[in-house]
Structure 1
Amino acid sequence: MADHLKTLSDKDFQALTDARVREPARFRQALPSRRRRPLVGEDGRMLLLAADHTARGKLAIGSDPMAASDRHSLLDRLLTGLADPRVDGVLGSADILEELALLGALDGRLAIGTMNRGGIVGAHWELDDRVTAYDVEHVLSLGLDGGKTLLRIEPTDRGVPRTLEMVARITTALADAGTMALIEPLPYRTRPDGGVELDPSEDALIRTVAIASGLGSSSAHTWLKIPASTNPARVAAATTCPILLLGGDAGRDHDRVFDGWERALEVHNIRGLVPGRALLYPQALSVNDAVDRAASLVHPSVVPTLEETPS
């Protein structure tokens, strides 16, 4: 993993804990009081930093099983990414979004709240993706710009219908409020050892995209978050919903990942990226360089002017 020079001081980081102890109301006030912005700009595109993995116990990056376990490092990497004005915002759980808002880093940026984080990585119930983070009521009352749901479909899992019903209900409620419903539909399969893994079949991905597009009583505010595939146009043809591509763990093969994103972003309804580990924990690049490359793909007409990191 590339070295990362910290810019968030120990003093400012420790102040977050002090605020939790002495002034916890500040965390509740930070998000609704921040300066808001439209969901998309003139180019109709979006670059989000995904920071909701830790809420599902997903801390591993590459060969390091605990790489994302240091909160100071994670926040610092997010601040580094947000210093680029082409980064539109962050997808995260309440703890991370509140901390970033308290640091002033989400003023004029999007805050998308992750919702169903119950499928803990490696647990026997991993595919039981219940709501354990934001719910619809708090996405709306805290002034978030959208809510994200995870929809993993494994054909033999009897719990999938419950997840489908839940995601449909959330999608309807967010649409009724005129708020972005970001669905992450992923095809899964069970391994011989009983564990689960992402199904790499493009046909399976197309099927989940079609299913997710039809969830809820309105798709007016539905966006989809999916992996980049070998034939992105074929996958995107299953829907007119706008699509953001996730990043995953790029390892040292960043050129392959960025090249795939570049090809995919030529498809009309693929409107941006929502990478996490690929930009925040790059193995062969600095965070600055990884974010710059991604931002130049999503917002090629915007000239970057780096902002000062909030203190």
Structure 2
Amino acid sequence: MSETTTFPAAPASAATATATSTGAPTALATTYAEVTELRAQRPDAIAEAWARRRTRPTVLGSERLMIVAADHPARGALSVGDRPTAMNSRSDLLDRLRTALANPGVDGVLATSDILEDLLVLGALDDKVVISSMNRGGLAGASFELDDRMTAATAAWTVGAGLNAAKMLCRVDLDDPGTLNMMTACAAAVDELAAGETIAMLEPFLSRRVDGKVRNDLSADAVIKSIHIIQGLGSTSAYTWLKLPVVDEMERVMDATTLPTLLLGGDPQTAPEETFASWERALQIPSVRGLIVGRTLLYPSDDDVATAVDTAVSLVR
């Protein structure tokens, strides 16, 4: 981390945590050692913390959303750019997430339950949009990577914990039978989430193997085709949103759907200035409701998380 990076102030101890307007503590732990101690001694406190958490609506008027994402580790995707072990450290990842979430322009976070619950007991999720991640079975580099089964949060848990949405990765490879398992599972989850009036956030790609590695086709026509396939999942699309990559011809891409859409930041492959400029152009499209960005903001090349987040927030706001 950059020496200039600052983290949100925390109470002196879990026992003296500051109180919310409802009287519930904002944090049950203030150090990572305390998080582990809580997990060992009082695991029931996590469910209680979800029940007490101050929630917020996903959409506030016409404001666009700024969400940080950190569900990569559960799929074994720990690299960022040319750093293969960038996400190895959980404490470092949590530091970066807490820095991002301390920015008032950041609306919330997308992650698997282990990360969300760490943030929860550290008091970082009050008044935030919280999105669970569901299908992490498609481990990066595995022979079964495209058979992306539900191994993380369930729809029932997402609804019961009072989260705003659940996200599903939906990679379609016409040559891989695992695609059908993914589509079947995601369709069932869309229905279950809709029954609980909770958003299903679908992230579609047309994918194929190149020299044994899964590659996503980021041409405009491929993204359009993936949208049409995936937005038809489930009995209703009333609570379905999309999470889409920023590609060329985004106006034509967005004409393929009427669903609310967040733009995917992805793993940084270009200079930050080029990345931010492409986001700014795409954010002008009316159906784009904001950004959902992970490694680009949490692991910038200069490790200055606060500045990277400030820049992204300025584009959304």
TM-score with structure 1 setting the length: 0.91
Unaligned segments of structure 1, at least 5 residues? 300-311
SS in 2 for 1:150: strand
Q: 1:209 to 1:252 in 2, by over 3 A?
A: closer
Unaligned segments of structure 2, at least 5 residues? 11-28
Offset of 1:83 from its aligned partner? 0.9
Per-residue CA deviations over 1:105-134 (Å, capped at 9, x if unaligned) read 100001100000000111111111100000
SS in 1 for 2:286: coil
Residues 28 and 98 in structure 1, CA contact (< 8 A), matched pair in contact too:
no
- Cα separation, 1, equivalents of 2:179 and 2:113: 25
Q: 1:20 aligns with which of 34, 39, 59?
A: 39
Residues 243 and 271 in structure 1, CA contact (< 8 A), matched pair in contact too:
yes
SS in 1 for 2:289: strand
Q: 1:198 to 1:242 in 2, by over 3 A?
A: same
What's 1:308 paired with? none
Q: 2:273 aligns with which of 248, 255, 266?
A: 255
- Cα separation, 1, equivalents of 2:253 and 2:127: 32
Offset of 1:196 from its aligned partner? 1.3
Answering whether residue 262 of structure 2 is matched by residue 244 of structure 1, we say yes
- Cα separation, 2, equivalents of 1:6 and 1:23: 30
- 1:17-56 equivalent positions in 2, closer than 5 A: 17-56=36-75
- Cα separation, 2, equivalents of 1:150 and 1:290: 25
- Cα separation, 1, equivalents of 2:252 and 2:138: 29
By relative contact order (CA 8 Å, sep 6+), the higher-ranking structure is 1
Residues 252 and 282 in structure 1, CA contact (< 8 A), matched pair in contact too:
no
Per-residue CA deviations over 1:67-94 (Å, capped at 9, x if unaligned) read 0111111001011001111111000000
Q: 1:109 aligns with which of 128, 137, 148?
A: 128
Offset of 1:59 from its aligned partner? 0.4
Offset of 1:215 from its aligned partner? 1.3
User: In the comparison of the two structures, how many residue pairs are matched?
Assistant: 298
Moved over 4 A (4+): 1-4, 8-11
Give the letter for the 1:162 counterpart: N
Offset of 1:229 from its aligned partner? 0.7
Residues 189 and 198 in structure 1, CA contact (< 8 A), matched pair in contact too:
yes
SS in 1 for 2:221: helix
SS in 2 for 1:294: helix
Q: 2:225 aligns with which of 197, 204, 207?
A: 207
- Cα separation, 1, equivalents of 2:2 and 2:248: 27
Residues 252 and 283 in structure 1, CA contact (< 8 A), matched pair in contact too:
no
- Cα separation, 2, equivalents of 1:49 and 1:74: 12
Offset of 1:19 from its aligned partner? 0.9
SS in 2 for 1:118: coil
Residues 75 and 136 in structure 2, CA contact (< 8 A), matched pair in contact too:
yes
SS in 2 for 1:32: helix
TM-score with structure 2 setting the length: 0.90
Residues 5 and 305 in structure 2, CA contact (< 8 A), matched pair in contact too:
no
Q: 1:291 aligns with which of 287, 293, 309?
A: 309
Give the letter for the 2:165 counterpart: G
Residues 213 and 219 in structure 1, CA contact (< 8 A), matched pair in contact too:
yes
Q: 1:159 aligns with which of 172, 178, 199?
A: 178
What's 1:216 paired with? 234
Give the letter for the 1:263 counterpart: R
Q: 2:207 aligns with which of 188, 200, 215?
A: 188
What's 2:18 paired with? none
Q: 1:207 to 1:2 in 2, by over 3 A?
A: farther
Offset of 1:26 from its aligned partner? 1.8
- 1:30-179 equivalent positions in 2, closer than 5 A: 30-179=49-198
- Cα separation, 2, equivalents of 1:3 and 1:260: 29
Residues 219 and 247 in structure 2, CA contact (< 8 A), matched pair in contact too:
no
- Cα separation, 1, equivalents of 2:49 and 2:136: 23
